[in-house]
Amino acid sequence: MNGLCCMAAAALSACGAPSDPDADNAEKWSPDQRASVESITAVEGSDGHLFEMNYTADYKLPEMMKEGCGSLPESLLLLYKNLLPESRILLQNASTQGVGCSTFSSASSDGGYVLGRNYDYPVKGNYYVVVHTAPEHGYKSVGVADVSALLADPDPENPFSTVRNQEMAIFAPFSILDGINEKGLMGSFMQLEFEATMQDRGRTPMLSNWMLRVVLDNCATVDEAIAMMDRFDVRSIFQNEDMDLHYIYADANGDRVIIEYVDNEMHVLRTPDLIGEDAPYIMSTNFYLTPGRRVDRETGLWEKKELGYWRFDVLCESLKANPTPSKAEAMDYMKSVRIVFNDQDEIEAMKRVGLDPEKFEDWSWMSLWSSVYNSEDLSLDLCIRENYDRKFSFKID
C-alpha cells in the first residue's frame, strides 16, 4: 500500500478546505460510509491506477432487489435513493460503452478451480478499485470495479481527493466486473453484439450488470446462481445501443456455466455446447455460444479475428494442452489473449469504419486488467494495463 499516494483520510481532510465546493456534502454520509471512503488506499506499484477499498457500509442490496431497476437512469435513481438520499451531487451524463473480454474456468494444479478474465476497454480507463464487501445478510466477496467513468476531473496523483469523487466510490459495490465470494463462487460478464435483452415476464426487473453483485452476495453454487438469475427480468444495460451481456460462473464444486439470453430467454451452456465434447474447462469471449444463435464462422459473415473468435480459439487450444493450469499459468493464458494497445488489427478495424487512428488515441483499446481467481484459497491475482511482470494479490479475509 502507498499511503502517500491516496489515503482517503488525508483526502477527506483536503476536501474540507474551502477550495472544494462540496465539502459540506460529506457531512451527510453515514459513519460506515465515511469509514468505507477512508479505507480507500492506493496499491503500491500500480502507478496510481489501482486502489483497494474495505467497504463496511450497508449498500442496501436486499432493498434494491425488492424494488428492482430496468434501465441505467433507474439504477442511478435507486442508488441515490438508498445510499445517498440527501446528496446534492448527482451523477451527470451517465453513459455506457461496450467491453471486450475473455474468460475461462478450469480445475487448477494449485488446488480448487480458477476463473481467469481479461477486461478489455479503451485506454482512457485509468482507475480500478479492488472492493472487499461483507454484507450483514450475504456472503463476503472481493471483486474489481472500473470507476473511471464515474470520476469527474480526477487528480492523477489523488483521484479521490474531492467529495464528489469520494461519493462515486460509495457506489463501487455495484461497479464490479468480476469477483469471488467466500463460498468460492466466481463470476464475470462479457459484452455481446446484437439485440439487447429486455425480459418482461412480470418479474422484478434487474439491470444486467447488477446481476453479478446479486449473485455473489446470495449464491454459493452455480445452480443457485442460475436460479437467482431466473428470479428477475434481466434488462440490458446497453438497451439503447443494441448490445447485451453474457455471464460465466464457476463454483468450488467444479461446476461451470455460460449464461446468455436469446430472444429474451435464458440459455445455460456447458462445455459440450461450446466445443461439441465434454472437457474440464469452459471459455467465452464476445460472441453467442447458444446452438442455433452462434455466428457461423465459415460463412464469412464476420472475419474470424473479430468478435473474439481468435481469443476463444487460443484459450481452447491452451486448455486442451493443459486443462489444469496453475494460477500463474492461468495468468499466462490471459496474457496470450490480451488486446494489445494499438496493434495493427485494431488500426485496420478503425479504418474500416472510417476512423483515423491518429485522432482516436483515447478510443484505442487494451486489456486494462487480467484477473485470476481461485476457489480454494479465495484469492485474486491481478495484473493491470498489460504489465504481466507485476502481479498484485488479494484475498477474502
State the number of CA atoms in the 13 A half-sphere of 344 facing the CB: 0
Sign of CA dihedral 350, 353, 356, 360: negative
Q: What is the CATH number of the domain that holds 50?
A: 3.60.60.10
The model's pTM is 0.89
Residue 163, all three cell numbers: 467529495
pLDDT of residue 13: 42
Distance separating the N- and C-terminal Cα atoms of the chain = 17
According to DSSP, the residues that pair with 384 across neighbouring strands are 369
CA distance 384 to 341: 13
DSSP summary character for residue 195: P
* Residue pLDDT tens, the chain, 397 long: 333 333 333 444 444 445 788 889 999 999 999 999 999 999 999 999 999 999 999 999 999 999 999 998 899 999 999 999 999 877 755 555 566 799 999 999 999 999 999 999 877 789 999 999 999 999 999 999 999 988 989 999 999 999 999 999 999 999 999 999 999 999 999 998 778 999 999 999 999 999 999 999 999 999 999 999 999 999 999 887 778 899 999 999 999 999 999 999 999 999 998 888 999 999 999 888 888 776 654 544 444 455 688 899 999 999 999 999 999 999 999 999 998 765 555 566 667 767 666 655 555 778 999 999 999 999 999 999 999 999 999 999 8
Contacts of 47 (CB under 8 A, 6+ apart): none
Name the E strands within the chain: 41-42, 50-55, 102-107, 113-122, 128-133, 141-146, 176-181, 186-192, 205-207, 233-235, 244-250, 256-262, 265-269, 281-284, 365-374, 379-384, 392-395
Strand order across the beta sheet in which 141-146 lies: 41-42, 50-55, 128-133, 141-146, 176-181, 186-192, 244-250, 256-262, 265-269
Rounded to 5 degrees, φ, ψ at 294 are -60, 135
The helix/strand/coil state of 342 is coil
Residue 107, all three cell numbers: 480445475
From residue 131, give the alpha-carbon distance in Å to each of 39, 71, 171: 10, 24, 11
Q: Count the Cβ atoms, other than its own, within 10 Å of residue 118.
A: 31
Rounded to 5 degrees, φ, ψ at 139 are -85, 145
Rounded to 5 degrees, φ, ψ at 260 are -145, 165
Count up the domains in the chain and report the number: 1
CA distance 239 to 222: 26
Print the domain residue range for 49. Answer: 3-88+95-395
With beta carbons less than 8 A apart as the criterion, state whether 63 and 69 touch: no
Rounded to 5 degrees, φ, ψ at 350 are -65, -45
State the number of CA atoms in the 13 A half-sphere of 23 facing the CB: 11
With beta carbons less than 8 A apart as the criterion, state whether 247 and 212 touch: yes
With beta carbons less than 8 A apart as the criterion, state whether 365 and 341 touch: yes
